[in-house]
Homo-oligomer: A and B are copies of this chain.
Amino acid sequence: MGWEEIAADKRQRIEKSIPAEWRVDVKSIVGPDEVSFMDVPVKSGLLTPEELAITGSSAVELVTKLAKGELKSVDVTLAFCKRAALAHQAVNCVLEFFPELALAQAKELDEYYQQHKTTVGPLHGLPISLKDQLRVKGLETSMGYVAWLGKYDKEDSVLTALLRKAGAVFYVKTSVPQSLMVCETINNVIGRTLNPRNKNWSCGGSSGGEGAIVGFRGAVIGVGTDIGGSIRVPSAFNFLYGIRPSHGRMPYAKMANSMEGQETVHSVVGPLAHSADDLKLFVTSVLQQEPWMYDSKVIPMPWRQAEEDIITSKLQSGAGGLTLGFFNCDGNVLPHPPILRGIDMVVLALKDNGHTVVPWQPYKHGYAVDLIQKIYSSDGGQDIFSVLKESGEPAIPNIKDLVNPSYPKLDMNEIWEVQRQKWIYQMEYLEQWRQREADLGREIDAFIAPITPTAAVRHNQFKYYGYASAINLLDWTSVVVPVTFADKAVDKKNTDFKPLTEIDGVVQAEYDPDAYHGAPVAVQIVGKKLSEERTLAIAKEIGRLLGNELTP
């Protein structure tokens, strides 16, 4: 079979995995002039009011009710399966869909609960969506590569296994861009995944299928990965929270990956969700399973409540609780007006509530972006292009933005030099941080920054990864907080714009107030390495101040 046939076969199999009774005519619900799919769940009539309520709940609410026996996993799972089926029909986000397996797993958990009157773990009965890098025994993990179709996994990834142990139910694996190294989601297997809020916008990438399905509430928590923004960009573009934990906190072992074995900058795995509390539920639940017992790269570091409490204490101490830095331009690319306004909103909300917010000078972000670019391309694209060659499928259009085969392959001594420079850069930035604290006479808890220069971007327009990737080079913990939506009435085009760089000109020229109207705007809250407890607590407070943190 040629690659087109293999891909077509896979599409058919995905199609067939959706039961006939869950098929809807999306075009009859969303007219040709309409752009949003967000009303499909209600308008389709497929979900009962109870199922709409379930899929509209937070994960914390769901596990609480499941643990009390007020909800059954079968009902919760069925609701999310139906909504995920709608999500795929609307925005084309699914690479694996297996409601039967999910319902069987849910039934077992219900039976366990019935029998033992207790849960198997903190996620008992909760359906969780997986990016198609996580292996589930018996299923395919294609990662959007045609060549990898038809291979069935013999074991779970470590994270899959631990989530399973914690009680999670699996029902869907979602789409990614071919190679993962792109912040939009398109591949030759199922094509492009759309943003549920507007078919003209990207859902982000590489965890774009997760962004879309969680944004659509076809999942309450999705699992993504991030080596250059791949959790944070889909979170931002779908008005979600997302955490890029530091390397070594969450288990990545036995997942599929591009450039497997590359360790100069580690890809990390983490959740996307509708609230900081749901992110915390995920992280604490995984840590309770002691992932360091299974994945040698994970640090034996349980959830440190004392670290979270430091932030809580600062908040309870009253005025001037938190001290945060902020910047709206990294010196390479000025964000579009909606993002600049988003940063302002966050700063204002914090100041209005008595927190201390000070300007933060980005330290050599341009240098960091160049350095990490060298790392992405350090094998001259050999790993990725050899997988394409296997099936004969063509590369997706924007693959060369990050993994450019025209970049020279580095040799061993050159990569050592890059690694040395990375280490020095990380330490210089730590020194900056200390110096700023010394100047200010107080601890700086985190800084606020754009995560992309654009609100949810129009297709094929994602150009600049630097706001995300500089943080990957630093390996700092970053939590995305949704802020607001682009508004053509206030976010006017910047008419006297003078580009800082060539790419700055390209990005700014692309801004169009009408096209971006309504697009989600987010910021990232960046804390130091392995500061998940503190940074999540700060993100939760910012979300609360903005009215975007839904759980108490």
Seen from chain A, the residues whose Cβ lies within 8 Å of a Cβ on chain B are 248, 253-254, 259-264, 292-297, 299-301, 378-380, 382-383, 409-413, 415-421, 423, 426-427, 429-431, 434, 474-475, 528-531
Contact = CB atoms under 8 A, between A and B. Distances in A.
Nearest to A430: B296
6 contacts: A263-B416, A296-B430, A299-B529, A300-B530, A379-B411, A382-B413
Given A299-B248, A413-B379, A292 B529 contact: yes
Contacts of A429: 296
B413 A529 contact: no
Contact of A253 (B292, B415, B423): B423
A409 to B, nearest CB: 6
B418 A261 contact: yes
A417 B261 contact: yes
A542 B254 CA distance: 37
Contacts of A419: 261-263
Contacts of A410: 412
Copies in the complex: 2
Contacts of A300: 528-531
Contacts of A264: 263
A438 to B, nearest CB: 12
A527 to B, nearest CB: 11
A292 to B, nearest CB: 7
Nearest to A420: B261
Given A253-B427, A412-B415, A420-B260, A475 B383 contact: no
Interface class of chain A by DSSP:
loop
Contact of A261 (B261, B416, B430): B416
Contact of A379 (B293, B294, B412, B434): B412
Nearest to A431: B294
Given A299-B248, A379-B413, A411-B409, A261 B293 contact: no
A475 B416 contact: no
B434 A293 contact: yes
Nearest to A434: B293
Contact of A293 (B248, B262, B263, B430): B430
A534 B420 CA distance: 32
Contacts of A420: 260-261
Given A261-B415, A299-B299, A379-B411, 9 more contacts: A253-B427, A259-B416, A261-B416, A263-B264, A263-B419, A294-B431, A299-B301, A380-B412, A411-B412
Contacts of A417: 261
A262 B409 contact: no
Contacts of A475: 296
A423 B297 contact: yes
What 9 A-B pairs come out closest when comparing CB atoms?
A: A261-B416, A296-B426, A261-B420, A379-B412, A261-B419, A263-B419, A262-B416, A296-B427, A379-B413
Contacts of A378: 412
Contacts of A413: 379, 382-383
Nearest to A426: B296
Contacts of A415: 261, 412, 415
A427 B529 contact: no
A474 to B, nearest CB: 8
A274 B419 CA distance: 36
Contacts of A294: 427, 430-431
A407 to B, nearest CB: 11
A199 to B, nearest CB: 38
A429 B264 CA distance: 24
Given A261-B423, A296-B529, A423-B253, A382 B430 contact: no
A431 B531 CA distance: 29
A208 to B, nearest CB: 25
Contacts of A412: 378-380, 382, 409-412, 415
Contacts of A418: 261
A409 B416 CA distance: 13
Contacts of A474: 296
A416 B260 CA distance: 7
A379 B410 CA distance: 12
A434 to B, nearest CB: 7
Contacts of A263: 263-264, 416, 419
Contacts of A299: 248, 299, 301, 529-530
B416 A379 contact: yes
A535 to B, nearest CB: 13
A254 B297 CA distance: 24
Contacts of A411: 379, 409, 411-412
A300 B449 CA distance: 23
Contacts of A426: 296-297
A426 to B, nearest CB: 3
